[in-house]
Amino acid sequence: MVSARSKARQGNVYAQWRLGDMYERGTGVLEDYKEAMKWYRLAAEQSYAQAQISLGGMHESGEGVRKNLVLAYMWYNIAVANTSDLLPKYRGLPTEGRNSVEAHMTAKQVAEAQELAGKCTAKKFKGC
């Protein structure tokens, strides 16, 4: 745990995602969705697709944040473009997540999420 936290603080993207995952699941630490969001966001801002998928999932389920399908779709959509850092068996995850969320959205919400994804990408994921 100390090693993961130390590496995460130093900006190691995998350690940031892993620490977020630990907090989300309560693995070796107390479950803390807000802390999970913090670490996922730091990794997502470095274009780490797995963290972007995790943020999409948290927005989809309402863990640590208010449930928001537009933001869930946005993060999944961003991750679709950033799956090169994932193993082949995981490359379909953001597409599956995005499609699942889209089934519960209006066309207007999808358009809003796509616009947000474009703006977020242009800002290099800062403040998204």
Name residues whose C-beta falls within 8 Å of residue 18's C-beta, 6 or more positions apart in sequence.
4, 8
* Residue 93: closest CA among 53, 58, 61: 53
pTM of the model: 0.89
Number of H helices, E strands in the chain: 7, 0
Torsion of CA 64, 68, 71, 73, to 10 degrees: 120
CATH number belonging to domain 2-122: 1.25.40.10
Q: How is the chain split into domains, by residue range?
A: 2-122
pLDDT in tens, 8-67: 999 999 999 999 999 999 999 999 999 999 999 999 999 898 999 999 999 999 988 999
Q: Supply φ then ψ for residue 105, to 5 degrees.
A: -115, 155
